[in-house]
Amino acid sequence: MEVQSFPITRSCPLEPPPIYSKLRLEGPLAKVQLWNGEHAWLVTRFEDVRSVLLDKRFSESPLTPGYPMLSPARAALVAGDTLITQTQGDEHQRMRRALSRELSVKRVEAERPMARQICNDLIDEMIAKGPPADLVSDLALQLPMRVIGKMLGVPYEDHEFFEKNSAARVALNVEPHVPLEATRQLAEYFSNALKEREANPDSSADDMLTRFARDHVATGLITHKQAVNLSYTAVQAGHETTANMISLGVLMLLNNRDQLDAMVKDPSLVKGAVEEMLRYLTILQLGMARVAIEDVEVGGQIICKGEGLFAMLISANFDDKAFQCPEKFDITRPERHHVAFSYGVHQCAGQQLARMEMQELFSVLFQRLPDLHVAIPFEEISFKHKNIVFGIDRLPVAW
């Protein structure tokens, strides 16, 4: 089945494009045309998406011939050798282990009291400032940046630098030099920060950058350049996605007052609410790009060597073969096997941190601001339709 050009924009901002439902029934694979005239497959069913993401016959490296590019800006960004996804084999595993150790469940849980305090501090600042407030700039961007900043060991004063450049790296409809310059600036920043720590190996500091320098670079497990790569990957993993999920999650709850009221009445529902937000909103809206390195059959369709595909997480999370009544937003949903963070070895390294921050925020936000509401009509809300990571540009709220 031939579909339209890709990416496909959501017709309703808080729901996936309806075409995916049709494809799951009729396809489940379809070819789409990309910006450069090339074609790629869309994989839309839950089991097929998970199968593709586990299959080593599909390469995740943008350097593999046939890898599908989403835009000129994305093509320019992945043309260099700066992304963690371009490392292969043992090198990738060493880098993945270094980052995963820093963002492990144990280490993230140790930061929960710090995150809880930051949540309350930010709400205090919003209350002191008075309504209206922009939930995006005053809360959603601030929480993950303050948390990951403390974990990395970088000054909070630099948060605007990180926010600007992190956003530039995931924008699709910008000139190609924009994500390249953002990556260069982030690399330069973290290179300098790591060099300071490498020059002082006996420092008593115990932040993430210090551990990268002391435990990984100094021991030869990874290079300085790879540590730089991991540092700004940590910012991306621990900031950009979480910030967008917070603002979208607030909007989703405000649009589903029965679910919100139930969560406020019973705080034990917060964890389930976070998982349902992740499933329903699936902000990695353009899926996971792969390219076949040999002929592979998926869903009864042969994908030939050199053909690219997108494993559509947003479609998989609405597959009624995997989730009962998936179109319903239900914070008591028993199924927790969504693929919002992707699936397999390349799933998001920052997922536990994102979960923890969202759990802490949604445990206190509506308890402290029970009358929180959006201060503009829904039609005036500006959504990030042209980004890899879906979100909201600005969300005025009052209470």
The percent of residues above 70 in pLDDT, for the chain, comes to 95
Cα–Cα dist 223/172, whole Å: 30
Read off the pLDDT of each residue in 339-351 and give the average, rounded to a whole number. Answer: 91
217, 230 Cβ separation under 8 angstroms: no
325, 236 Cβ separation under 8 angstroms: no
Cα–Cα dist 288/100, whole Å: 20
Strands 29-33 and 2-5, bridge-based pairing: parallel
Structural domains in the chain plus CATH codes: 2-398 (1.10.630.10)
59, 290 Cβ separation under 8 angstroms: yes
Is the bond preceding residue 113 a cis peptide, omega within 30 degrees?
no
Cα–Cα dist 182/73, whole Å: 12
Alpha helices in the chain (DSSP H): 19-26, 46-54, 72-78, 89-102, 105-110, 112-129, 135, 142-152, 159-169, 177-198, 208-211, 224-235, 241-254, 257-265, 270-281, 313-316, 351-368
310, 287 Cβ separation under 8 angstroms: yes
User: Which pLDDT score, from 0 to 100, does residue 293 have?
Assistant: 98
Least confident of 85-89, 264-268, 311-315: 85-89
60, 45 Cβ separation under 8 angstroms: no
The CA-based diameter of the chain, rounded to the nearest angstrom, is 62
The pair of structure tokens assigned to 41 is 């497959």
Cα–Cα dist 97/160, whole Å: 29
Could you read off the pLDDT of 46-78 as tens digits, one per residue? Answer: 999 999 999 999 998 888 999 999 999 888 887
Could you read off the pLDDT of 259-289 as tens digits, one per residue? Answer: 999 999 999 999 999 999 999 999 999 999 9
Read off the pLDDT of each residue in 380-393 and give the average, rounded to a whole number. Answer: 93
> Euclidean distance between the first and final Cα of the chain, in Å?
49
Q: Which residue has the higher pLDDT, 31 or 349?
A: 31
User: Which pLDDT score, from 0 to 100, does residue 204 have?
Assistant: 75
Cα–Cα dist 144/240, whole Å: 8
Could you read off the pLDDT of 135-194 as tens digits, one per residue? Answer: 999 999 999 999 999 999 999 899 899 989 988 888 888 999 998 999 999 999 999 999
Asked whether residue 237 carries a pLDDT value surpassing 80, the answer given is no
Query: Tell me, what DSSP letter sits at residue 299?
Result: T
Range with top average pLDDT, 83-92, 195-204, 350-359: 350-359
Q: Which residue has the higher pLDDT, 317 or 221?
A: 317
- The rounded mean pLDDT for the chain is 92
Asked whether residue 84 carries a pLDDT value surpassing 60, the answer given is no
Q: Which residue has the higher pLDDT, 310 or 223?
A: 310
> pLDDT-based confidence at 88, cuts 50/70/90?
low
Which residues is 284 bridged to in the sheet? 389
> pLDDT-based confidence at 83, cuts 50/70/90?
very low
Could you read off the pLDDT of 239-249 as tens digits, one per residue? Answer: 778 999 999 99
User: Which pLDDT score, from 0 to 100, does residue 85 have?
Assistant: 46
Distances (CA, A) of 320 to 23, 286, 301, 370: 13, 20, 21, 34
